[in-house]
């Protein structure tokens, strides 16, 4: 079987080497790892074909490459949680936060929440989606059915009002309305 498998591999898989190399170069940012990545794809395909030959070798080759890249990306996101040894020398003290500092942090959080709650509804929604949920400007615009320019205006207004409230009191209520798009291209206040 190994000679048969080798012949199949040469005939059905290796003929796509240039296309596979281009695909990997397009999908994997670490250029120095491309050769190893390609070899690992080949090893996985060869091993799987040893058990059962795929009916669509080219599709199987590229699916294997895609899965390998996905696996590597996933592994790259995993954070290793290994003890560094004794915590004393690394100066990590859990009790370092004083009661005053903790209380000050809680008060600041309450002020931010209060300022956020005072934002106009649409402005608050845009700021939340953009800054908290970290959606792109385009994603926010699509989700809310408004233009990207309107999203920009709401973000600018929201940040200005939040900063004003944090540094100067009740500036949230005193700001002018943001212009948004009406259904027929007219501008309306929000």
Confidence at residue 96, expressed as pLDDT on a 0 to 100 scale: 63
pLDDT attached to residue 131: 83
Alpha helices in the chain (DSSP H): 2-12, 17-27, 34-51, 57-77, 99-118, 121-127, 137-144, 148-168
Is the alpha carbon torsion for 147, 153, 155, 161 positive or negative?
negative
CATH of 109-189, one of 3.90.1310.10, 3.40.50.720, 1.10.260.40, 1.10.10.10: 1.10.10.10
Residues 25 and 33 sit within 8 Å (Cβ to Cβ)? no
Say what the alpha-carbon torsion angle 62, 67, 70, 71 is, to the nearest 10 degrees.
Answer: -140
C-alpha distance across the termini of the chain, in Å: 73
- In this prediction, residue 95 carries a pLDDT of 53
* The pLDDT of residue 169: 59
What parts of the chain have a pLDDT lower than 50?
87, 89-90, 171-180, 182-190
Q: How far apart are CA 118 and CA 158, in angstroms?
A: 10
What does the domain layout of the chain look like in residue ranges?
2-77, 109-189
pLDDT in tens, 37-79: 999 999 999 999 999 999 999 999 999 999 988 888 887 776 5
Q: What pLDDT score does 59 carry?
A: 93
């Amino acid at each position: 079987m190994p000679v048969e498998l080798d012949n199949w591999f040469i005939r059905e898989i290796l003929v796509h080497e240039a296309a596979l190399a281009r695909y990997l170069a397009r999908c994997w940012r670490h250029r120095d790892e491309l050769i190893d990545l390609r070899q690992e794809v080949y090893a996985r395909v060869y091993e799987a074909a040893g058990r059962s030959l795929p009916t669509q070798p080219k599709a199987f080759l590229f699916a294997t490459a895609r899965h390998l890249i996905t696996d590597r990306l996933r592994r790259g996101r995993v954070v290793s949680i290994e003890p560094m040894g004794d915590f004393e020398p690394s100066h990590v003290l859990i009790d370092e936060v004083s009661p005053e500092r903790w209380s000050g942090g809680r008060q600041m959080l309450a002020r931010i929440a209060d300022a956020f709650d005072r934002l106009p509804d649409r402005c608050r929604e845009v700021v939340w989606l953009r800054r908290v949920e970290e959606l792109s400007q385009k994603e926010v615009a699509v989700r809310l059915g408004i233009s990207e320019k309107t999203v920009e205006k709401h973000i600018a207004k929201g940040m200005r009002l939040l900063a004003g409230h944090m540094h100067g009191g009740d500036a949230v209520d005193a700001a002018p309305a943001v212009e948004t798009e009406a259904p027929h291209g007219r501008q309306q206040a929000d």
